Amino acid sequence: MNITIDGKNLEVQAGQTILQAARANGIYIPSLCYHPRTGKAGRCRACLVEVEGMRGMQTACTVAVREGMIVNTATEAVLAARRMVVELLLADGSHDCLSCEANGACELQEMAFRLGIEKPSFIVADADQTRDESSEGIVRDPKKCIQCGRCVASCNRNVMHEVLDFGWRNAGVKVICDDDKPMGDSTCVQCGECVQICPVGALYFKPSKGKARQWEVQYKQVICPYCGVGCVIDMAVKDGKYMWAKGTEDRWEKRPNQGMLCVKGRFGLEFLGKPDRLTTPLIKRNGALEPASWDEALDLVAKRLGEIKAANGAGAIGCLSSAKVTNEENFAMQRFARRVIGTNNVDHCARLCHASTVAGLATTLGSGAMTNTMQEAAKSKVILITGSNTTWCHPVFGGMIKKAVRQNGVKLIVIDPRETDLAKIADIHLRQKSGSDVAWLMGMQRIIIENGWHKESYITERCEGWDDYRKSLDFYTPEKVQELSGIAPEDLKAAAKLYATNAPGAIYFSMGITQHSHGVDNVKACANLSLITGNLGVEGGGVNPLRGQMNVQGACDMGALPNVFSGYQPVIDESNRKKFAAAWGCAPESMDDKIGLTVTTMVEACGKQIKALYIMGENPMVSDPNLNHVEQQLRSLEFLVVQDIFLTETAQMADVVLPAVAFAEKTGTYTNTERRCQLGRTALPAPAGARQDYEIIADIAARLGCADFPRTPEALFAEMRSLTPSYRGMTFERLEKECGLRWPCPAEDHPGTPILHIGKFTRGKALLSALPYRPPAEEPDCEYPFRLTTGRLLQHFHTGTMSRRADVLDRLVPRGQVEINPADAARLGIADGEKVLVSTRRGAVETTAQVLDRVGEGVLFMAFHFAEAAANRLTIDALDPVAKIPEFKVCAARLEKTACCKG
């Protein structure tokens, strides 16, 4: 439609406000409280304009455009009102721009400049308010606050942490944290959204204070290196150094994170500039790692790998790829293993997390990935979350689920042994015994079918395996389920009813389902539940594994797996081997035709079949189960090469260490948990001496006789997509233009695929799985009476290589603890904060007790981020027979005070 602003005729869209229409057309109307991500507020009154036919003045941010509307933004009355708003905000005399962090990007300063206001016309002093510097990452300066309400709106309606609100009244109104506590004493998780959205300098980042002026930085778009949400970050870079981070607001509605970040994306990128970045290759001589030249190091690697291959065969070498490097680099690593070494012994850390998913969903649905998208949370009528502490491990997405519950009336069921944040707001929270998931999942299905809540026609048309499946449910009576899981029959029925009688329903799961010795069964049980309720192939439904690492989905997609090439094309299939051999310029017979070893079986085979490991961006010395054993195993290798950005615990054991660059220092693509491939471009230079992972691999390949190994991301991507139907339609240009693409994307005009299995499954009909009950490998007994479960924290990531080197994260959580229930603590006479020894049959770790009822009685929880108190010294390496994933989530442990001794 057409409207007129200041005499200019403009074409605008229906539904826009005057302010939005003006901005879209480059017309200046100031506003301090409206923000596209928090919506209209009408509080600041800076956007007042005159509209012909409407009495008085109107706020441009609240009035929708109408055909033929005539707007005047610069009449005398409007300008007087605008001046008044600025004068009144400046009137308390406390807005000093000189050293303000917001100088140059301050919306109040901008307004004053436009109005020609050089200093306040009248000063009427207000009560003094001190700065709040109590939190690790954020400083609040209430004297600069203009009470616009954006931070409150964002905290309560977008990131959903619900920490901030307005307190008090009249001119005494101020933003408060929790019960008006200092931010550092509140429940604030330091996501930093309030700082990002503040129009003035009332909130700023502590770590970067004084380091750069707003106009000295360039913003470069990168993909967050932490979790599988794949937040798009605008990294502020000055003189090639990282300054601070914002969630990108460039086309924010289309991004997985909608402009938001978590504390790790916000404050966790500092590791990039830490002085202990690896900058020179290291070679172990006489038991110590010594600096060497690149040529020396690469020559040695090629020599040793060549020797070991010649002596023992290609199968003696294993390659560990990385969920932290690009798709191109993952493709390069599996190409290296297969083309250059001639082995399928290539794997990566997905083995430790979602191997069950990939196997389980590939079998039942035909495709092992998240079936729906993160954006659909609000479209579900019911969400069931199990085995995922979403607000800690996929924080921005956890917030979206919370938002869907709070704002869209979505019902929430959480089945978790611990009272997670989402459990607190769930309609139903049930605490099950770790390891009993098949029982309660199948038990729910039995109840659903018994009550006729299942979708018969969907099952008939789209599923197979009903008879065996139905029979297998007989075992899971409510009483049996209670015996195995601890869940009471009435509770199980309530959960079953809530899930089955609300459509569409989505299931989200993560490690609590996958990291078991029967993890594949767990995944299949989830698929069963979704299938019988007709929730696959529909918007708002799905079976949705939340992938942990920012590129673990990509690493799998790229074929850094022992059984498939890229795109999950099986290696045992001769036509696949032929295709790849042709592309790689080698004879098909030279390609390994057997499924290779996994991360976990490679570790087992160290010193036996496996003589050498080439590890890129992985830290098994902290991430694998039963670390004492892992250490032993790695020591039995003849040759270990580690390529990484810091000297990790694993690198310390290597014969050769190769310094690589980090995510922000490379260009390439990454695929997040919802199959969305996004492009990240180099944002700043790597430390001198470090090299691109793909270059290092190509150099080693060249030394091993493969001179035509692709050497650039573009070349690798081009080759990959020519061989991988699901990525074929993607190009770097498309990825940038369309904010990423979800596979399958088979052609360059294909828009990508948000929802899988619409109409038919990848395997045709889905398979309903008959599942027997198999208990965890090791359950509590008299000697080890606790059920130990492990997992992650919000503030740290995995082995802590990056997150523990970020000062804010390190200060927020400097060391590990063990969660213990108050009743158990009381029985053992253990106080909160006391030093304790946790031991299992595999090892012992000294740590500190954290007494709280987040864990139930008889349960202990430890995060695995802390190498010096590594939870994985305790965990058991019992593996799922198909997926080979370890049972990180259950083993038997005991806990005692450290002062008290054995014997």
Contacts with other proteins by CB under 8 A lie at 40, 42-46, 48, 56-57, 59, 62, 76-77, 80-81, 83-85, 87-89, 91-92, 121-122, 124, 126, 146-147, 149, 156, 162-173, 176-180, 187, 424-425
CB of 487 to other proteins, least distance (A): 23
Instruction: Give the Cα separation of 224 and 232 in Å (integer).
Output: 6
CB of 794 to other proteins, least distance (A): 18
Q: Which is nearer to other proteins, 92 or 719 (CB)?
A: 92
CB of 57 to other proteins, least distance (A): 6
818, 852 in Cβ contact below 8 A? no
CB of 144 to other proteins, least distance (A): 14
Coil vs helix vs strand at 759: coil
CB of 62 to other proteins, least distance (A): 5
Q: Which is nearer to other proteins, 179 or 490 (CB)?
A: 179
CB of 426 to other proteins, least distance (A): 11
CB of 173 to other proteins, least distance (A): 3
CB of 793 to other proteins, least distance (A): 22
Q: Which is nearer to other proteins, 89 or 630 (CB)?
A: 89
CB of 96 to other proteins, least distance (A): 18
Q: Which is nearer to other proteins, 31 or 380 (CB)?
A: 31
CB of 177 to other proteins, least distance (A): 7
* CA proximity to 322, closest of 61, 760, 663, 618: 618
Give 403's DSSP letter. Answer: H
Separation in Å, CA 293 to CA 5, 223, 301: 66, 31, 12
Q: Sign of the C-alpha dihedral, residues 653, 659, 664, 668? A: negative
Q: Which is nearer to other proteins, 427 or 896 (CB)?
A: 427
Question: To 10 degrees, the CA torsion angle through 565, 569, 574, 575?
Answer: -110
Q: Which is nearer to other proteins, 39 or 607 (CB)?
A: 39
Neighbours of 408 (CB within 10 A): 12
Q: Which is nearer to other proteins, 124 or 831 (CB)?
A: 124
Instruction: Give the Cα separation of 698 and 721 in Å (integer).
Output: 19
CB of 391 to other proteins, least distance (A): 14
Q: Which is nearer to other proteins, 129 or 628 (CB)?
A: 129
Q: Which is nearer to other proteins, 84 or 758 (CB)?
A: 84
What are the start-end ranges of the E strands in 52-145? 57-59, 70-72, 138-140
What are the start-end ranges of the E strands in 625-691? 639-644, 656-659, 668-671, 676-680
Structure tokens at 564: 């498939």
Structure tokens at 885: 């994933």
CB of 127 to other proteins, least distance (A): 10
Half-sphere exposure (Cβ direction) of 87: Cα atoms closer than 13 Å = 12
CB of 702 to other proteins, least distance (A): 59
Q: Which is nearer to other proteins, 118 or 781 (CB)?
A: 118
Neighbours of 695 (CB within 10 A): 17
Residue with tokens 């619900």: 162
Instruction: Give the Cα separation of 17 and 26 in Å (integer).
Output: 14
Q: Which is nearer to other proteins, 48 or 496 (CB)?
A: 48
Q: Which secondary-structure segment (H or E) carries 414?
A: strand 411-415
Instruction: Give the Cα separation of 45 and 19 in Å (integer).
Output: 12
CB of 182 to other proteins, least distance (A): 13
175, 132 in Cβ contact below 8 A? no
Give 765's DSSP letter. Answer: S
Structure tokens at 591: 């390609």
Q: Which is nearer to other proteins, 128 or 783 (CB)?
A: 128
238, 216 in Cβ contact below 8 A? yes
Q: Which is nearer to other proteins, 194 or 883 (CB)?
A: 194
760, 462 in Cβ contact below 8 A? yes
* CA proximity to 175, closest of 195, 137, 206, 145: 145
Residue 322 makes CB contacts below 8 A (sequence gap 6+) with: 329, 330, 333, 348, 349, 551, 555, 616, 617, 618, 693
CB of 27 to other proteins, least distance (A): 21
Q: Which is nearer to other proteins, 28 or 166 (CB)?
A: 166
Q: Which is nearer to other proteins, 158 or 598 (CB)?
A: 158
Q: Which is nearer to other proteins, 147 or 769 (CB)?
A: 147
Instruction: Give the Cα separation of 641 and 623 in Å (integer).
Output: 17
Structure tokens at 387: 């085995």
Coil vs helix vs strand at 674: coil
* CA proximity to 499, closest of 577, 572, 412, 578: 412
Structure tokens at 316: 């003696």
Rounded CA Rg of the chain = 29
Q: Which is nearer to other proteins, 149 or 417 (CB)?
A: 149
Coil vs helix vs strand at 633: helix
Q: Which is nearer to other proteins, 156 or 279 (CB)?
A: 156
CB of 42 to other proteins, least distance (A): 5
Residue with tokens 């020797």: 307
Instruction: Give the Cα separation of 793 and 268 in Å (integer).
Output: 13
Structure tokens at 480: 């049996």
> What secondary structure does DSSP assign to 129-173, as a single string?
---B--SSSEEE-GGG-----HHHHHHHHTS----EEEES-GGG-
CB of 400 to other proteins, least distance (A): 18
> What secondary structure does DSSP assign to 463-531, as a single string?
EE-HHHHHHHHTT--HHHHHHHH---HHHHHHHHHHHHTSSSEEEEE-HHHHSSTTHHHHHHHHHHHHH
CB of 156 to other proteins, least distance (A): 7
